[in-house]
A = this chain, B = another copy of it.
Amino acid sequence: MIGGGEGSFIGGVHRIAANLDGQIELVCGCFSSRPEVSYRTGRALFLPDNRIYGSFQEMIEREASLPEGERMDFVSIVTPNHLHFAPAMMALEHGFHVALDKPMTFTLDEALQLREKVNSRGLLFMLTHTYTAYPMVREARERVRRGELGKIRRIYVEYPQGWLYEDCSATNKQAAWRVDPARSGKAGCMGDLGTHAFNIVEFITGLKATELCGELISFVPGRLLEDDGAALIRYEGGARGVLTASQIAIGHENSLRVRIYGEKAGLEWSQEEPNTLLMLWPDAPAQILRTSNGYLSLAAKHNTRIPAGHPEGYLEAFANLYRHFAQALQALAVGETPAAEDLDFPSIEEGVRGMRFIEAIVSTNETEQKWIPIGD
């Protein structure tokens, strides 16, 4: 693991998620750019000192020099956005598979370089768009694929949070880097939340966004990055979307919600009640689909562990990504082709799409041109 030292939120989440199914073991790490923090964190995680590193360069080089079977199998990078590219690129170059947090890179250019590297090296690359790993999001995608909704027409996706409704960067480490362009990148709210919202729609519908028209706002005085924004989005095939994201919507915790309407049916899913998927029909009652029931597709079942009515949450969704990633690695390790469902995690392409979205949403805010194309 690279990153995830004391005070990190997502580092601990990655560790629990990777560990949850007993398929992955933390063997080494560089948890901070400050070596003393890295060592303190590593020891608390029961790592031996010789597998705790003071820099990611040292770690990757040293691990690469260890004999197979002893060295790490892959690296998880959980640093702030500006520190994604360098360790990811170096790990790939040294032959390590990579799990990386989103947004994938600091700039689109880095994303494109990374894509080229991943593709040329043939290594596994997983981008942790956690929300796509909830069983009911998989079910939603399956329903769309089966044609139950018919041609998609209208998409609403929203991702309101409220925790940054006032300036708390001085006291909150999580807040501090997210509102700092030097660490977060061009976008604030849209990089942190908007990319998830953008991704989950493309994931469920299989449709690519082609152009957007939007606006970014920084409501909190003095904040350098936007803390709120909204965009109209056009998708291939004629579907239309509205995407909103906010960090100042007081009272909202982490309320990612997506609603999709086709010619024949609609569906609705909310991250805060993740085990429910609502199916909406034109001349019949709405149906409440619930995780772990027999009527669900294999896509949902492959991402569930326990019986219906025993709520699975965010950590389980995150663990689903790691479980499939681990199973794919195991298959590769024994020379087999990974099962399709184990390769079904967000990858380098989703990472590039996310950076395209950031480019476009930042551009839209800077021109009077109504529609901004989103490249491939």
Contact = CB atoms under 8 A, between A and B. Distances in A.
A253 B309 CA distance: 5
Given A162-B280, A217-B240, 18 more contacts: A9-B306, A13-B306, A16-B21, A19-B19, A19-B20, A154-B246, A156-B158, A249-B259, A250-B280, A251-B280, A251-B281, A252-B266, A253-B293, A253-B308, A279-B285, A286-B287, A287-B287, A367-B370
Contact of A311 (B244, B265, B278, B314): B314
A272 interface: yes
Contacts of A281: 250-251
B314 A282 contact: no
Nearest to A219: B153
A217 B305 CA distance: 32
A285 B308 CA distance: 12
Given A232-B214, A249-B261, A287-B286, A315 B314 contact: no
Contact of A249 (B21, B46, B154, B293): B154
Contact of A230 (B161, B242, B255, B305): B242
A45 B23 CA distance: 9
A158 to B, nearest CB: 7
A310 B314 contact: yes
Q: Report, nearest first, the 10 A-B pairs whose CB atoms are least far apart.
A: A251-B280, A253-B309, A254-B309, A311-B313, A285-B287, A310-B314, A313-B313, A253-B308, A250-B266, A286-B288
A7 interface: no
A15 B22 contact: yes
Chain A interface main SS type: loop
A165 interface: yes
A307 to B, nearest CB: 6
A244 to B, nearest CB: 6
Q: How large, as a class, is the contact surface on chain A?
A: 35 or more
A215 B279 CA distance: 27
A242 B159 CA distance: 13
A191 interface: no
Contact of A252 (B309, B367, B368, B370): B309
Contacts of A261: 162, 165, 246, 248-251
A294 interface: yes
Interface in A214-261: 214-215, 217, 219, 228, 230, 232, 240, 242, 244, 246, 248-255, 259, 261
A290 B288 CA distance: 14
Nearest to A364: B370
Contacts of A249: 154, 259, 261, 266
A80 B87 CA distance: 50
A214 B110 CA distance: 33
A95 interface: no
A312 interface: yes
Nearest to A248: B153
B263 A165 contact: yes
